[in-house]
Amino acid sequence: MKRMLIALAATAAAAAACGKSSATAPTPAPAGPPTAAFQVTFGENPVPFRAAGCSFSTPSGWYTSARIQETAGVAVTVSALTQKVDGATAGFLNETFNSRFGACSGAAFTPGMILGSGAACGTVGACTTAAYSTYQFSIGGTDANGHTISYDAPVLQLGARPAGQIALVGGEASPPSPMRSLR
């Protein structure tokens, strides 16, 4: 009986040892450098239609302030700005990032860039005699860690024209320059 108990104990110990591994778990690969990330805020959304103040050549339209905040601490060189109305790229809004965005009040700014943990501010929208219901912009470029960046801002809802306003085709211009914006 004593031999049987010793044999059972030895078998149980061997079985328990077989279930254990002496190898250590693999160490995960280190994370690569961070990629730039953004948050965009607008002065208004929806954006009301304004009969005046949009641009010299086309005073009526929709415009509001915009702030692009970089949130991952990685600087970005912006090489493209695309503006869309009602989901389609708007040829009459073919502009550069530097023509729409500049320094936010009291902040550092390098033209063509959004600094790591920094921001760029400007005025966005569409000065036009046509009727639209949405506006959106996208930026593209490369961050300081070599990642290709493509970011779509949230969609702005464009308010209705006041009663009695007729939407005409043509006469389109860009929103006011950042120099006139309310940052």
Give the DSSP per-residue string, 90-151. Answer: -GGG---HHHHEEPPTT----TTEE-TT-EEEEEEEEE-SS--SEEEEEEEEEETTS-EEEE
The predicted pLDDT at position 129 comes to: 85
- Which tokens belong to 160? 């209705």
pLDDT confidence of residue 55: 86
pLDDT in tens, 141-178: 999 999 999 999 999 999 998 765 555 444 444 455 54
121, two tokens:
């501010």
Report the alpha-carbon distance of residue 12 to residue 1 in Å, rounded. Answer: 16
Q: Which of 102, 111, 107 is nearest to 79 (CA)?
A: 111
Strand pairing report for 148-152 and 113-114: unpaired
In Å, what is the CA distance from 43 to each residue of 2, 35, 68, 151, 167?
86, 27, 12, 19, 25
CB atoms under 10 Å from CB of 174, counted, come to 25
- pLDDT tens for the chain, residues 1 to 183: 444 444 444 554 454 555 555 567 777 777 889 999 999 999 999 999 999 988 888 889 999 999 999 999 999 999 999 999 999 999 999 999 999 999 999 988 999 999 999 999 999 999 998 999 999 999 999 999 999 999 999 999 999 987 655 554 444 444 555 444 333
Q: What is the pTM of this model?
A: 0.74
DSSP summary character for residue 179: G
- pLDDT digits over 74-86, tens only? 999 999 999 999 9
CB distance 134 to 157 below 8 Å: yes
